[in-house]
């Protein structure tokens, strides 16, 4: 009964495909935690999350599980979503180079570090769905999905494009982004947008698995 309405929407066979897909989520903050929640509630049975951070009070405006101040994000989310696998690991360039991504069908990049995002794209672009800047924005209607080369109006996406061009990397991968102009100078954020980024990523995963 739990997934009855998912099965009604996706179809029985498609739902079975979704159950079996193997997902890796890098970063489970304001974007990644909502992608996790959406995928978990949609029936995906094999989800691994990677993060190394602990919750602090400033996370409470946008991150699932952030009531547990001081606790590891991976630990708390494992309590909320018991079937997931967790890796408590700091992600840097060295880690990207060494980690074996081959067993995962799709990789969600909701990490914060630009260098990690760039190196990850080079390594797993075929499997990648990347989130760019979701902070400083308020209008969820501005959120778009496109190839990295068709993104616009987002400083992080532009930086990633320029670096990839410099490194002579020209392959396509999917990006969730927003061209909305920054509404503040600092890292102000609203869960309406960060959460919508995560839900949009989840939708893209489902569409890719169901091939719709």
**Tokens 């990789």 appear where?**
107
SS (H, E, C) 117-148: HHHHHHHHHHHEEEECCCCCCCCHHHCEEEEH
pLDDT averaged over 10-residue windows placed end to end, the chain, 212 residues: 96 96 98 98 98 96 96 98 97 96 98 95 98 95 98 96 97 98 92 98 97 86
pLDDT for 6: 97
| pTM confidence score | 0.96
pLDDT number for residue 210? 95
Q: Which residue has the tokens 């708390």?
A: 76
| C-alpha span between 97 and 18 (Å, rounded) | 28
Domain of 165: which CATH number?
3.40.50.720
Confidence at residue 212, expressed as pLDDT on a 0 to 100 scale:
81
In angstroms, the Cα distances linking 50 to 24, 43, 137 are 8, 20, 25
Q: How far is CA 152 from the centre of its chain?
A: 19
Instruction: Please count the structural domains in the chain.
Output: 1
Question: For position 187, what pLDDT does the model report?
Answer: 85
In this prediction, residue 23 carries a pLDDT of 98
The per-residue pLDDT for range 20-67, each reduced to its tens digit, is 999 999 999 999 999 999 999 999 999 999 999 999 999 999 999 999
Q: Domain range holding 46?
A: 4-210
Please report the pLDDT score of residue 185 as a whole number: 86
Q: Report the C-alpha gap between 72 and 81 in whole angstroms.
A: 14
| Contact assessment for residue 190 and residue 137, using Cβ atoms and an 8 Å cutoff | yes
Q: Cα–chain-centroid distance for residue 175?
A: 10
């Amino acid at each position: 009964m739990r997934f009855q309405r998912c099965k009604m929407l996706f179809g029985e066979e498609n739902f079975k495909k979704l159950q079996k897909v193997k997902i890796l989520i890098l970063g489970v903050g304001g974007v990644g935690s909502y992608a996790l929640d959406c995928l978990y509630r949609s029936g995906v049975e094999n989800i691994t999350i990677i993060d190394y951070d602990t919750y602090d009070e400033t996370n409470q405006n946008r991150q699932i599980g952030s009531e547990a101040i001081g606790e590891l994000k991976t630990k708390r989310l494992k309590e909320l979503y018991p079937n997931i696998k967790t890796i408590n690991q700091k992600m840097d360039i060295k880690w990207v180079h060494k980690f074996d991504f081959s067993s995962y069908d799709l990789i969600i990049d909701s990490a914060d570090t630009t260098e990690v995002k760039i190196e990850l794209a080079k390594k797993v672009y075929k499997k990648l769905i990347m989130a760019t800047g979701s902070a400083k924005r308020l209008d969820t209607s501005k959120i778009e999905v496109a190839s990295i080369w068709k993104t616009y109006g987002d400083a992080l996406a532009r930086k990633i494009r320029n670096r990839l061009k410099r490194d002579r990397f020209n392959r396509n991968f999917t990006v969730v982004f927003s061209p909305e102009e920054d509404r503040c100078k600092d890292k102000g954020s609203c869960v309406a947008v960060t959460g919508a980024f995560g839900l949009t990523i989840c939708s893209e995963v489902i569409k890719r698995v169901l091939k719709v």
